[in-house]
Structure 1
């Protein structure tokens, strides 16, 4: 009896140990709304702006900027996830108190790479003095654990002479590491080989586009082809993204080719993440919609994530999707196809409009002369329960019924954000699920900026809408 009990106890202990060491369960596919401010598993905003991702075991670790209200450096924050949607905050891994020169600074675009030979995680960053952008230095910090405290190693100009601003890192299949940074007042883009320990610059490999005035680089390899994705240098404001390719990092590189729309769907490149799984490898574009471009700060920024596609081995395509579905187990990244409509009031022939193209939560919706703007276009997302969410093309926020107005808010699935569409002859009524009232132009006004509200359905022409294209 004692022998049987001992065997049973040993089996239980072995099972418990296996559960402890087994790691996270395989992640299920997740759908992420693009153009929004992400929250972590505790409900707090994710501050990983200008960031990069490294995969360690089953976890993806995301590092990025967390700033003070005046945009100076507060910390580099680390998050982890198995599915790229549920992000667990792991800590402020580098802070203002990590070194004297970080007390007042700008620290931008942190990227972490792993050196297998030294067992060290190495973080590269762009460093400025916190007042202006005259320093133009690269900075390095190191840690023995991916999400532990990073020890600051200092800042410098590459090879003692070159300016260094927006940067990224890349580790090739042979273990050689590289850093790319904007140089010469952002007119050049330098590609450097790192030292064997990844903490210094070994040599300048290439300056393929002198005078090109590109920044925000993201470097990745697909098959035997290297892709360099960049933005123009227009400060916080979005612009046309361009890419180039090569079969050797030393070149020759192609000329720049446009990708995406004229403003990268309101974003700037942060990183391109290969997502590898049982079905192959897909590539996720990770961009920042900077808060500074719409009257906020870096910590107000939104994340634009989109699937990259490759028509040929040396070409790349980027299209808008309001949602992206990521299956990290399969290695697939797919976008949701969406049709956007205008909502034209019958009585005024004016469109439901987000004033001033606002991206802010709480912006009240009104009517305005139809102009084709993204702030007048709405995706009727079918929830499968007889109701729809109406997501703004410009803001990625949801139309929400309130006691006194209709505004846009972060999509939460709340019933106040659910609407039914009822056909009324050649028109439709948009009915709020919570109150059962109809979307209405207040006072049947025909003036620009007249408020949209909900009101008892009454067959008024100010409650009748045309879903335009």
Structure 2
């Protein structure tokens, strides 16, 4: 058959189409896209690497979700602490965008130190993204052994960026309203007001405080909840505020608990277990409550960390849709589940 024959061009076009489809299929398989979340298992990003977003927070902006968290992978420069950023449209498949924040140790901290639990807010007035983190470590004259992480610094750090993925510019550390601050959480109310949740160890409780207009400071305390809880998170569902948190047992999991109130200023109800207490919240610690408002329903997702202190880079995530409503909240036993980001519907699958 001559090269100029019409049939040749027909075969050539068909071959090119087949080759293109083959590459597309291969690319899709390489990305490993799925609609299923597997609690407690390795969670690969678009590059096939386990997601490094421990103690993290989720921010939604312009149709995308951004997941910020502590990067605890091996081989990082020990002179810095790193916050990773991932992006997703469906909360299931995540693209790694690199480091949103890379920060060096404050001069007043000696020896070991931490930058934990990043939470990012978008300020519509300033058009800036504002990140809060927990900064802690040994302090000269206070910590007896600077080689051991001693949580005496007890401050929040603030960083700012023009883009959700960063890079964020670190501004300062401070104690909100003069109080010690360890684990932090974030909450944005229906009216757009932004709040910081932080544990205050000396008073054996945690505080809910309103941020300033530019989100760069804490201006007003809403409530002090006298419950020994860290990993605090809040969600508003059907007009009621739900707060959850974990006990103070370090790396070891414990029974997480919740309370409710009609106002952030309280009064708050008695704290109750979110799961069978003997399971220690299925080995996880609360990190954030994510609200997914779809066309058919609104789902609330519990996001927690399954810590592995000796192999921190391999720490896992326990995400599950909550049973919530009428002042009750319950975390189902972990199992694979699917999420329809458009409708808001979730479906728990049978374990294999």
* Both structures adopt the same fold (TM-score exceeding 0.5): yes
- Answer whether contact 1:167 1:182 (CA < 8 A) is retained: yes
1:89 to 96, 119, 137: 96
SS of 2:122's equivalent?
strand
Distance in structure 2 (CA, Å) of the matches to 1:173 and 1:189:
22
Equivalent in the alignment of 1:106:
114
Residue correspondence of structure 1 range 131-280 to structure 2 within 5 A: 131-160=149-178, 162-185=179-202, 187-208=204-225, 210=226, 212-262=227-277, 263-280=280-297
SS of 2:283's equivalent?
coil
1:305 to 319, 323, 330: 319
* CA deviation vs aligned residue, 1:416-437 (integer Å, no higher than 9, x gap): xxxxxxxxxxxxxxxxxxxxxx
RMSD: 2.2
| C-alpha deviation, 1:280, in angstroms | 2.3
SS of 2:328's equivalent?
coil
In structure 2, stretches of 5+ residues that fail to align are 1-32, 139-148
User: CA 1:178/1:322 → structure 2, altered by over 3 Å: closer, same or farther?
Assistant: same
| C-alpha deviation, 1:321, in angstroms | 3.0
Distance in structure 1 (CA, Å) of the matches to 2:331 and 2:64:
26
Distance in structure 2 (CA, Å) of the matches to 1:37 and 1:109:
20
Residue correspondence of structure 1 range 415-430 to structure 2 within 5 A: none
User: CA 1:186/1:42 → structure 2, altered by over 3 Å: closer, same or farther?
Assistant: farther
Equivalent in the alignment of 1:323:
336
- Answer whether contact 2:105 2:113 (CA < 8 A) is retained: no
Distance in structure 1 (CA, Å) of the matches to 2:66 and 2:107:
27
Equivalent in the alignment of 2:68:
63
1:32 to 37, 49, 54: 37
Distance in structure 2 (CA, Å) of the matches to 1:186 and 1:44:
41
Structure 1, 233-242 or 318-327: larger mean CA deviation: 318-327
Distance in structure 1 (CA, Å) of the matches to 2:93 and 2:72:
22
In structure 1, stretches of 5+ residues that fail to align are 1-27, 339-380, 382-469
- Answer whether contact 2:34 2:93 (CA < 8 A) is retained: no
SS of 1:105's equivalent?
strand
Structure with higher RCO (Cα < 8 A, 6+ apart)? 2
TM-score by length of 2: 0.81
Which of these two proteins has the greater Rg computed from alpha carbons? Answer: 1
Q: What is the total number of aligned residue pairs between the two structures?
A: 305
